[in-house]
Structure 1
Amino acid sequence: MARVSQEHLDARRRQILDGAAVCFARNGFHATSMQDVLKEVDLSAGAVYRYFSGKEELIAAIVGEVLGSVREAFEDAARQSPPPPPDELVVPVLGRTLAARENLTVDGRPAFPRLVIQVWTETLRNEELAALLREGYASVRAIWSRIVEAYQDAGMMRPDVAPDHVARTMIAAVMGFLVQHSLFGPIPVEVLRDGLRALMSMSDERTASHGSQLG
């Protein structure tokens, strides 16, 4: 009997994960059954259960995969000295994350942002998923804090703000962008880039004016 290649196994696993992601994005986790997933991927129960024991394991695999890819991208940036500025750093990472899943759609709209919202909601009742998300969030936050410290060391960013505060703000900007993407329709990632760029260009004229008056 011929052995199944690793390439075939990886492709089958990808097929199952993508099909499950579409199902979850379409109907939510509770309204989606394993039978729905089997129908979506057009595979037998045996073929799917060879890779995943059930719905909970599928959810964890999807979330872990996304968090891992985001963390890896930011780690690459953190190793640069100094790292690219926020507008040049966040947008390519987010763009790659969305582009890697652009083939997943629900009613002609991108499934991934909707899936993100479903995941956040599910963490309110699923402690294992909540723990996984907390771990991923903490690791991305730590990486972003290192990036901010590198900005400050290079004189690119004011040094009197805690790096963790900036890290949380950058993550909030991305999360908010995904919420808008999900609720109001696709938004080009360049919108986030331009918004960050404009905010970064601001100068505090009030402080400058006050300083000149004192002089």
Structure 2
Amino acid sequence: MSQARSRRMIYQTDATRDKIILQAERCFADAGFFATQMKDIASAVGMSRNTLYRYYQDKTDLALAILERTLARMAEALAQQVTHALSAPGSGHLRLSQLLFSLNDQVNSVDERFVAEFDAYFSGARVPDDFRARLQASISIHNLAPLTELLSQGQADGSIRADFAPDLVMVTLINAIRALLQRLILRGQLLIETDTDALAAIPRLHLTLLLDGLKNQPSTAQTSATSASASPSPNPSPSPVAPIAPIAPIAPNEVTP
């Protein structure tokens, strides 16, 4: 641990740290992550900037602390709903569909906007060196295990395709849904691909397409065979086909030169 960080921690209290986090979240929600400065947060908390810097060395340090809490809160909420879905009636695919549409209708716009703006700002060379390590230390990936279990149940009951590992499907689903959501948050009213009136329907359409892709579809060959065996024959008693008479050989003098 650096000496500068050690000196800052000497003057820290949990109550003040929580107050800073709370006011910073409000500032980011009101003015946006990009426009909010440390002086704005210090003013909202009612402290000097020097005192604020004793707790967080810069805006990046403070933003990471908020991101850790935000993602942990979101993961905990997801785990609770998925745990409930594990014991609900119906196929795995049905329960997954109900879960994802329910989550879509309960999006915390404040948390999602902060994560979207954080990801937009901290990309490429701006990503802190300890970013991955800090998130791994503060967020338990075990909170996502129930979602993997739900996918496994769907594969076991035959309602979800089993040609992909459930943990890989879980990661793909979460990131696909979040990527579109963040795009709509940051650029929604400015998208030129469609009218603004249609934006509200896009998340549910996206979920429908993802869920359709997860359905356990029978192969084309199996479908054709099943259809052929199930469909009544148009001619249940066909007449026997007469044998074809052999073709007589052509004599040499009959060939046209």
Give the counterpart letter for 1:58 in structure 2.
L
Tell me the residue number matched to 1:62: 66
1:168 aligns with 2:182: no
The runs of 5 or more residues in structure 2 that have no matched partner are: 1-13, 89-93, 190-198, 230-257
Whole-Å separation in 2 of the counterparts to 1:51 and 1:99: 31
The 5-angstrom pairing of residues 93-172 of structure 1 reads 93=103, 95-101=105-111, 113-119=116-122, 121=123, 125-133=127-135, 136=139, 138-139=141-142, 142-172=145-175
Q: Which residue of 2 aligns with 1:197?
A: 208
Distance 2:116 2:135 in 1: 16
Contact persistence 1:152–1:159 (CA under 8 A): yes
Change (3 A) 1:140 1:87: same
- Change over 3 Å in CA distance of 1:10–1:38 after alignment to 2: closer
- Unmatched 5+ stretches in structure 1: 1-5, 103-109
Amino acid at match of 1:132: R
**Residues in 2 aligned to 1:61 and 1:7: alpha-carbon distance in whole angstroms:** 15
AA aligned opposite 2:220: R
Per the TM alignment, residue 161 of structure 1 is displaced from its structure 2 partner at its CA by 2.5
Partner residue, 2:83: 79
| In structure 1, C-alpha distance between the alignment counterparts of 2:149 and 2:23, rounded to whole Å | 36
Aligned pairs, number: 196
TM-score by length of 1: 0.65
Greater gyration radius? 2
Where relative contact order (Cα < 8 A, 6+ residues apart) is larger, the structure is 1
Compute the RMSD of aligned alpha carbons: 4.1
Q: Which amino acid aligns with 1:158?
A: R
Q: What is the alpha-carbon distance in structure 2 between the residues aligned to residue 44 and residue 52 of structure 1?
A: 12
C-alpha contact (below 8 Å) 2:67/2:115 kept by paired residues: no
1:149-189 CA-to-partner distances (Å, cap 9, x unmatched) read 2333444323342102211221122232133224422654x
C-alpha distance in structure 1 between counterparts of 2:222 and 2:71, whole Å: 42
In the TM superposition, residue 195 of structure 1 has moved relative to its aligned partner by 2.6
Deviation string for 1:87-123 (max 9, x for gaps)? 4323444554433559xxxxxxx6653234224x178
What is the DSSP-based 3-state SS (H/G/I as helix, E as strand, rest coil) of the residue aligned with 2:62?
helix
Q: Distance in 2 between matches of 1:157 and 1:20?
A: 40
